[in-house]
Amino acid sequence: MKWLLELLLPPRARCAICGKPGQASVCTPCTADIAAFQRLQSTGLVKLLGQGKVLALLPYEGAVRRRIHRLKFANSPAIARALAQAFARAEVLPTCGVDLVTAVPMHRARYLERGYNQAELLGKELAAVQKLPFRQVLLRTRSTPPQNTLGRSARARNVAGAFTASENLTGRRILLVDDVCTTGSTVIACAEALRQANALDVVIAVVAISLTRSQG
């Protein structure tokens, strides 16, 4: 019966950010929120990670936070494509100077538990819309407790040395993708592993970033 209803009354398009039904891939209020956050970043008022700038679509709060939780914990991998398209539409990603897109890796045990790596799904979708090659060149060398159970300093210790690159990246400019950045410990550790493999440059892109925990 459900398939018949979907055939007769197909589901409406939903906003990639808030999930509300509508005609646009990103609704008008969410489009305005994205634009406002990009202006805030461009003024220099948002210093991300304290070590440089991360390309982020929105602050990690409200609707986008709920959307990311659905992607990660509600067995909704299809959300990755919508978020990637929203990211591309916002025109905040580099359009040139990137040789390879990769993603924060997930330990095999957690991958088997969840069934997919949301960061890798996002990375592949972003690579597709940007017409860039994607390859998972990072490996997680050991399982670590979930970062959301730890404080700032413990997070950094938790992921220190937990990643390595699977190949030599000499001269490559890498776009590193994750779903969310809180303290930045994970993406910093991954970027360091890429640089140790001789990557020329690493640009970090996340859907959302915690403004209170990443600054400083």
Instruction: Quote the number of domains for the chain.
Output: 1
Dihedral sign from CA coordinates of 94, 96, 97, 102: positive
**Is residue 56 one of the residues assigned to a domain?**
yes
pLDDT above 70: residue 156: no
Confidence category of residue 46, pLDDT binned at 50, 70, 90? low
Q: Is residue 85 part of a domain?
A: yes
Q: What is the pLDDT of residues 74-94, one digit of tens each?
A: 888 989 999 999 988 888 888
Burial 9-25 (b: 16+ CB within 10 A, else e): eeeeebbbbbbeeeeeb
Residue 17 in contact with residue 63, Cβ under 8 Å?
Answer: yes
Domain assignment of residue 37, yes or no: no
- Specify which residues 134 forms β-bridges with: 101
Domain that holds residue 92: 47-214
Residue 7 falls inside a structural domain: no
Q: Is residue 203 part of a domain?
A: yes
Q: Is residue 147 part of a domain?
A: yes
What CATH number is attached to the domain comprising 57? 3.40.50
198 located within any domain: yes
Nearest to 130 by CA among 203, 71, 195: 203
Q: Is residue 23 part of a domain?
A: no
* pLDDT in the model for residue 26: 92
pTM of the shown model: 0.86
